Amino acid sequence: MRKNYEGFSEAGAEVLVVFREEQGGIEGLKKAEKTSGGKFPLLLDDGGAKTKVYSKSGYDTYIIGKDGKVAAKLEGSKTKRANTEQLLETLKKLAK
């Protein structure tokens, strides 16, 4: 996602990454932020208190519309998550 961040901006989207089970809590999140080199915000929902409503596994990807509602869900697992191309394609479909 880091390489294609501009593609998301061009599609009128903002990327937010929410960690649920980051070891080390906020300090672990800060370390992940430094090592990722991404331009997008990293958020922490320690223990999944809020995100469990959306995903039991924590590996699904959601596109939230400007109205604040879920516009699309891309299911994922620990070993296979939605990639940048899938996300951009879904955004293009939603824009039509």
Question: What count of Cα atoms within 13 Å lies in the side-chain half-sphere of residue 63?
Answer: 21
pLDDT value, residue 22 = 61
pTM of the predicted model as reported, rounded to 2 decimal places: 0.75
Residue 39 has pLDDT above 80, yes or no: no
Spatial contact of 4 and 88, defined as CB atoms under 8 Å apart: yes
* DSSP notation for 9-30: HHTT----EEESS-TTHHHHHH
* Span 65-86, pLDDT tens digits: 889 899 999 998 888 989 989 9
* Span 7-38, pLDDT tens digits: 888 888 888 888 876 667 888 888 878 887 77
Question: What count of Cα atoms within 13 Å lies in the side-chain half-sphere of residue 21?
Answer: 6
- Per-domain residue ranges for the chain? 5-90
